[in-house]
């Protein structure tokens, strides 16, 4: 691999903010010790000079820039992958269902991937060289990607997952979201799991690892794919745009968890080629008609590729679809709050607030723990 100037710039851009955050946090954590901040600078500096070929894992990655910084930073609040439950900031308890399929962190065997035909390289974009003005980032168009990439990337870094942005080519005569099965199939070869999250979907609890959620969602070693159940829209008493022709609610492709199994590759091939109608007469209808690849999966693929009943897993709508306040808008009748991944199919602008809130929620918790631990060093009580 050639270590280009551009790569180096990406490294520096990703590293520097982390170093600054870390110096600040380390200072608070270790108030009273003057050596810690310098150690942090030294550790941080090493990430700038680290080359891809130095890594144990030879898959090229954007993620090498953060190294161990984020896992270290989040250590005090990270949920263990084998945790029996997770309690959120509002006191809601989410259990793992007593399942322990996944007992060890999978690290770089999990890929978090963003896939889009748009490129976040415009004003305030993550791929724009000019300094970003966060206040002016609008969660619309390609700037929506910037908001999502920040959330998805930070999440991948906290848990040591790999991260990629797959900038896809449009597919002729198909709606843009048809790129998903093609791109996902391509990425799946190099990982154990690939987790795709839409540009308008935001991870809410940065400290909760995928492995915990896989257990919670009953994603077993035999599961090929998992997607959340869609929110239903009812117009004039008809829910017919939310269900397939057999009346079963469609799955929403805003969150896709894929496991690298031979069965999965066969399934992805069938999905990606669905509109050729070689295997599925009538699939061509969904090239440009709503809801495109999502409906094609629900109409055809899910009835053909679930021989054991656990090959295709339906994630509860409330966990990974919708957002608080969606119900009642656009005739949506299901109150799915997106407890783990909020999907802003409407009110896309809120994705930015959601990204800020998720990050500040975890930073707030970290700081709160450290104010408590170090109050004797911080507090002057008059």
Ligand X SMILES: *[C@@H]1O[C@H](CO)[C@@H](O)[C@H](O)[C@H]1NC(C)=O
Torsion of CA 137, 142, 147, 148, to 10 degrees: 170
Question: Following DSSP, what letter does each residue of 31-66 receive, concatenated?
Answer: TT-SSHHHHHHHHHHHHHH--GGGSSS-S--GGGGT
Could you tell me the smallest distance in angstroms from the CB atom of residue 220 to ligand X?
4
Instruction: Say what angle helices 179-188 and 262-272 make with each other, to 10 degrees.
Output: 160
Determine, following the binding rule CB under 6 A, whether residue 21 of this chain makes contact with ligand X.
no
Determine, following the binding rule CB under 6 A, whether residue 60 of this chain makes contact with ligand X.
no
Q: Please answer whether residues 142 and 150 qualify as being in contact, where contact means their C-beta atoms are separated by less than 8 angstroms.
A: no
The residues, ordered by sequence, that sit 6+ positions from 93 with a Cβ below 8 Å of its Cβ are: 85, 86, 87
The token duo for 140 is 């619309």
Best CA proximity match to 151, nearest among 342, 346, 325: 342
Position among 241, 243, 261, 327 found at the interface with ligand X (CB under 6 A): 241
Instruction: In whole angstroms, give the CA distance from residue 25 to residue 27.
Output: 5
Determine, following the binding rule CB under 6 A, whether residue 368 of this chain makes contact with ligand X.
no
Determine, following the binding rule CB under 6 A, whether residue 174 of this chain makes contact with ligand X.
no
Could you tell me the smallest distance in angstroms from the CB atom of residue 173 to ligand X?
7
Q: Which residues sit opposite 202 in a β-bridge?
A: 342
Could you tell me the smallest distance in angstroms from the CB atom of residue 307 to ligand X?
9
Task: Report how many residues bind ligand X under the rule CB under 6 A.
Answer: 14
Instruction: Name the residue nearer to ligand X (CB basis): 240 or 377.
Output: 240
Could you tell me the smallest distance in angstroms from the CB atom of residue 237 to ligand X?
8
Determine, following the binding rule CB under 6 A, whether residue 284 of this chain makes contact with ligand X.
yes
Could you tell me the smallest distance in angstroms from the CB atom of residue 62 to ligand X?
33
Instruction: Name the residue nearer to ligand X (CB basis): 285 or 375.
Output: 285
Residues 104-163 that bind ligand X (CB under 6 A): none
Position among 104, 135, 236, 381 found at the interface with ligand X (CB under 6 A): 236
Q: How many CB atoms lie within 10 A of CB 347?
A: 15
The residues, ordered by sequence, that sit 6+ positions from 194 with a Cβ below 8 Å of its Cβ are: 110, 111, 113, 184, 187, 188, 256, 257, 258, 260
Which of helix, strand or coil describes residue 238?
Answer: strand
Instruction: Name the residue nearer to ligand X (CB basis): 14 or 280.
Output: 280
The residues, ordered by sequence, that sit 6+ positions from 129 with a Cβ below 8 Å of its Cβ are: 9
**Per-residue contact flags (x/-) with ligand X for residues 201 to 220, judged by CB under 6 A:** -------------------x
Instruction: Name the residue nearer to ligand X (CB basis): 282 or 325.
Output: 282
Position among 7, 27, 310, 353 found at the interface with ligand X (CB under 6 A): 310
Q: At residue 4, what are phi and psi to the nearest 5 degrees?
A: -90, 165
Determine, following the binding rule CB under 6 A, whether residue 222 of this chain makes contact with ligand X.
yes
Q: Which residues sit opposite 116 in a β-bridge?
A: 167
Residue listed under structure tokens 């959120």: 88
Determine, following the binding rule CB under 6 A, whether residue 276 of this chain makes contact with ligand X.
no
Q: How many CB atoms lie within 10 A of CB 222?
A: 15
Instruction: Name the residue nearer to ligand X (CB basis): 23 or 241.
Output: 241
Could you tell me the smallest distance in angstroms from the CB atom of residue 171 to ligand X?
13
Position among 49, 92, 288, 329 found at the interface with ligand X (CB under 6 A): 288
The residues that touch ligand X, with contacts defined as CB under 6 A, are 220-222, 236, 238, 240-241, 284-285, 287-289, 308, 310
């Amino acid at each position: 691999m050639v270590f280009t100037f551009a790569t180096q710039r990406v490294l520096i851009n990703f590293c520097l903010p982390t170093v600054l955050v870390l110096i600040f946090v380390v200072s608070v954590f270790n108030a009273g010790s003057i050596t810690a901040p310098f150690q942090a600078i030294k550790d941080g500096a090493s990430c700038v000079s680290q080359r891809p070929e130095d890594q144990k894992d030879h898959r090229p990655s954007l993620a090498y820039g953060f190294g161990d910084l984020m896992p270290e930073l989040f250590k005090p609040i990270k949920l263990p992958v084998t945790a029996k439950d997770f309690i959120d900031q509002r006191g809601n308890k989410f259990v793992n269902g007593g399942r322990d399929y996944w007992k060890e962190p999978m690290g770089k065997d999990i890929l978090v991937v963003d896939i889009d035909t748009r490129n976040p390289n415009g004003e305030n974009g993550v791929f724009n060289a000019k300094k970003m003005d966060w206040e002016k980032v609008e969660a619309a168009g390609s700037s929506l990607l910037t908001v999502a990439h920040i959330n998805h990337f930070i999440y991948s870094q906290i848990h040591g997952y790999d991260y990629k942005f797959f900038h896809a080519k449009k597919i002729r005569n198909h709606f843009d979201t048809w790129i998903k099965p093609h791109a996902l199939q391509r990425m799946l070869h190099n990982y154990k799991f690939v987790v795709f999250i839409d540009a308008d979907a935001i991870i809410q609890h940065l400290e909760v690892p995928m492995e915990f959620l896989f257990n919670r969602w009953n994603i077993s070693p035999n599961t090929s794919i998992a997607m959340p159940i869609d929110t239903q829209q009812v117009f004039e008493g008809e829910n017919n745009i939310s269900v397939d022709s057999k009346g079963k609610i469609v799955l929403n492709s805003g969150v896709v968890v894929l496991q690298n199994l031979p069965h999965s590759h066969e399934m992805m091939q069938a999905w990606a080629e669905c509109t050729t109608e070689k295997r599925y007469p009538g699939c061509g209808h969904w090239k440009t008609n709503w809801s495109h690849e999502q409906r094609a999966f629900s109409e055809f693929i899910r009835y053909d590729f679930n021989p054991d009943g656990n090959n295709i897993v339906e994630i509860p709508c409330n966990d990974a679809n919708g957002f608080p306040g969606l119900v009642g808008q656009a005739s949506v009748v299901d109150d799915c709050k997106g407890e783990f991944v909020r999907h802003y199919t409407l009110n896309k602008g809120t994705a930015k607030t959601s990204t800020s809130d998720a990050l500040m929620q975890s930073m707030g918790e970290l700081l709160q723990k450290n104010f408590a631990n170090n109050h004797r060093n911080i507090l002057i009580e008059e």
